[in-house]
Amino acid sequence: MKNLNLFSDEELVTLYQEGNNSAFEVLLMRYKSSVFMNIFMIVRNRELAEDIFQDTFVKAITTMQQGRYVETGRFGGWINRIAHNLIIDCFRREKNENTFSIDGVEYDFLNSAKLADESIEDVLTKEQMLTDVSSLINYLPDNQQDVLRMRFFEDLSFKEIADKTGVSINTSLGRMRYALMNMRRLAIEKKL
């Protein structure tokens, strides 16, 4: 049989639905980093991100096994939409857990402008922005992706990034500069 890595996403889905579990493993390997990073950028909690990541792929497996996956030519977009919906569900659960009753009157502390810096709408807006940004990162060259992720997600200094990547601080700074310029150009091109 042909190397499964050479198959398109849609071909792999079809093979998986026909019982080839290795096809799903290839899909998982193809998308696990970007899906996890998208989730983590929004929830900012590793354990929660891991739970949502696992739920995302369980839901994808269930949907495909039930024959409800609709081929659109964009498996990556579909799997990220599942993750996005699960994150929203998580925020909704947290919101419900954080609504208190005082003297029989329900008051939503989570969305109170007086008591909170951000409403759920602000959180969801930021979530969408982070999703857009993380999708743009995937278009950058690997060395620029690495610098961005280390700087913003691992909170490393440029010296630490330079040490970790084996380049000078100036090279790290240059890669960050080009990454930001490229992301700005991509955002304009993709109308984000």
pLDDT per residue as tens digits for the range 27-39: 999 999 989 998 9
Pairing relationship of beta strands 105-108 and 99-102 according to DSSP bridges: antiparallel
pLDDT tens-digit profile of 111-121? 554 445 556 67
61, 24 contact by CB (below 8 A): yes
CATH topology of domain 139-192: Arc Repressor Mutant, subunit A (1.10.10)
The pLDDT score that the predictor gives to residue 149 is 80
70, 14 contact by CB (below 8 A): no
Q: Could you tell me the sign of the dihedral formed by the alpha carbons of 55, 60, 61, 65, in that order?
A: positive
Q: Could you tell me the sign of the dihedral formed by the alpha carbons of 157, 178, 134, 33, in that order?
A: negative
Average pLDDT over residues 66-94: 86
The pLDDT score that the predictor gives to residue 183 is 82
140, 179 contact by CB (below 8 A): yes
Q: Is 20 helix (H, G, I), strand (E, B) or coil?
A: coil
Q: Where in the chain are the domains?
A: 4-118, 139-192
- Amino acid 42 reads I
CATH topology of domain 4-118: Rna Polymerase Sigma Factor; Chain: A (1.10.1740)
- Residue (of 130, 145, 122) closest to 83 by Cα position: 130
Of 23-27, 73-77, 175-179, highest mean pLDDT: 23-27
Q: Is the pLDDT of residue 26 over 90?
A: yes
Percent of the chain with pLDDT over 90: 24
125, 165 contact by CB (below 8 A): no
- Residue (of 50, 48, 41) closest to 155 by Cα position: 41
Maximum Cα–Cα distance for the chain, whole Å? 68
Q: How far apart are CA 187 and CA 129, in angstroms?
A: 11
Burial 159-191, CB ≥16 within 10 A → b, else e: eebbeeeeeeeebbeebbeebeebbeebeeeee
Structure tokens at 54: 């696992």
